[in-house]
Every structure is written in structure tokens, then in C-alpha cells.
Structure 1
């Protein structure tokens, strides 16, 4: 007798729901422990029951440490998304966008930290643009080197064909000459 596929919906019976919660939360904690051991990763699981009881698992000693790392990672992703918005722009577009933002926010009313933040964003964007430009130039140089190699191979091939044709021409010219008499002399 095999397992049947369970439809995912709220369990109506309160006692069955509580029993299922206990079993499934234990299973989830077990799976979290297994993945942390097998894959050597940090895992944190936080469950708050409908009664307000907190169930937690952490593969390290500190659940708060993992949560802080998560928060730092999310903030970094948000900043990266903001910077990627600017990195796809050309330098001129970037300067226009910065100017628009300054006009919108009234630059006279900005604090020094706001201006420093804008300057840092501009510097970061320029660095990303320069990195992209360098990357594209390096790809172009690499493609030109590959083309040069192909042309050198083709040149060698053509030189071999030319030498072969020259050799064939000499052989043909020699075969077109009338036969010469060879005299043998014996002493």
C-alpha cells in the first residue's frame, strides 16, 4: 500500500491540525539538521505556532548570528540591485540621472552625508562602467588574437599550396622538354 498524494490545504479538524503540526515540524527540524550536516551549511528554522509557541533550530550555536548574516545579505542585494540599475547606463545617462535627482531633491537642502552618499553611488557606477568597458575591450582583443591565429594558419596553408603548385609546374615543364641524349662513356 503506497502513499497517496495529499492535497495541500488547511486541515479543518483542530486536533488533526495540531497532530500534523507536531509531526511535520519535527520532520522539518530533522531535515534541517540533515542538510546542515550533509552539505556543511548553516541552517536556521524558526516556527511560531498558532498558539504563539516558538520552535527553532540552528545548525550553529547562534540563531541570531545566522539571522544577522541573512539581514546583511538582503541589504547587500538591495544595494546591488540599485547599483545595477545605474551600471547599465552610459556615462552621459548616468550624469543626467544624477542631475535629475539633485534637481528633484533640491541639492541645497541635502546634508553632507546625503551628498557623500550620492558621490559614492556615482563613483561606484563609474567603476562598474569602466570595468564593463575594460571587459568588452579585453573580449575584443581576444577575438582579434583568435582571428590573427586563423589568418596565420590560412597563410601557412596558402604558402604550402603555392610551393606545391610551383613544384608541379617545374615537373610539368621538365616533362614537356624533349628527351636529351645521354652518352655513356666507358674507359
Structure 2
């Protein structure tokens, strides 16, 4: 009795799927080796498991050599470079577009928009991101405030030192001004005493006789005991009379 036909579909049991993969992979590698030996064919086989593990076989001894031969056979020399460049640009544009869409979607989620399609786990991740961003923002704000306080304290110390310097300078100038005032006061007192002594000495000297103004004729009579001669007295009287007449 032969085996029944196996239905080709994905094996749901993980252990059975792994066992089947291992058996069929070995069988496939064996068939590729037999084909290359029996038919003298260049065979290359590449297999990736569901976990991303690589299994390969190349009858030429180098997988790169077989791939280069495949590229030369699949594309003409003229269209090879153009098509490859076009594919590269298309892949780059697709990657950039996907990245742009992802950034827009993330931005809307951070702003609290379009949260309906998100699952509970995605919402928890979004909440963690927001909490982390909020923590970093608070730390940065605290650091800036500490730096500003330190700057203000430094400025306060500088102003305090400047205030002390100005106070010392003002005190020295006040002492110098007081010394000058004392010096001038002592000189003024000494000058006043000397002037007082000089005025007291001058007050004891008899003043000079003031001149006497006589109006009219007064007969000059010389005393007998005067030292002035009579001729001089007569001449003075005559001159006085003449001047009065004129």
C-alpha cells in the first residue's frame, strides 16, 4: 500500500516544520550534487531558513563565479548597466518613501493623532517614548536653570567685590579730604591769630594829625615864643590877603 499524497501547505506545528525542513533540505542538496556529477552541469543552490540561516551548494566551488555567469547570461551587455541603475534608483526611492511615511506616522502618533489602529502594546511603547522624552526635557530644563543660577551667583560675587573696592576707595578719599580740611583749618587759625596780633599792635600807635580847613580871614598872630620869624609871618599874611581879594 503506497503512501497517501501529502497536501502542500504550511506546517503549523513548529517542531514538525523544523524536522521537515531539515530532511528536505538535505535531500535537495543531495539531488543538486547528483545532478552536477551525473550530467556534468554547473549547479548552484541557495536556501534560507525561516530564521534567516543560509545553506548553499555550488558545483563550481565558488558561488560568486556561478552568480556572475548567471548575470552575464540573463542580461545583454547593453541593457545590463541601465537596468541595474534603474533598479537601484527604484529601490532607493522605495526605501526613502517608506522611511518618510514611517516618520509621518510616528509624528502623528506623538501628537496624539491616528491612535485608533494601534494595539495595546504599541500604545504602551508610545507612552514609554513620551515619558522618556518628557524626562529628557525636564533634565535639560533643570540643567539650564542650574547653569543660569551659577552664572548669576558668579555675577553677584563680582559685583560684591567691586562694591568692596569702591567702598575702600571712597573711604580713602574721605580720609584724604578730611586731612586736607584739617590742614586748611589749622592754617586759617594761625593766619587769624597773626592778623589779630598785628591789628592790636597797630592800634597802640597814635594816628597822624588831620589837616585843618580854614575859610575866611584870620589874623595870624605869632606868639612871642614861636620859632617862626616875623618876616615870614608877614609875607604869608600878605599873600593870603592878596589871594582873598583876587
TM-score after normalising by structure 2: 0.35
When Rg is computed on C-alpha atoms for both structures, the one with the higher figure is: 2
TM-score after normalising by structure 1: 0.44
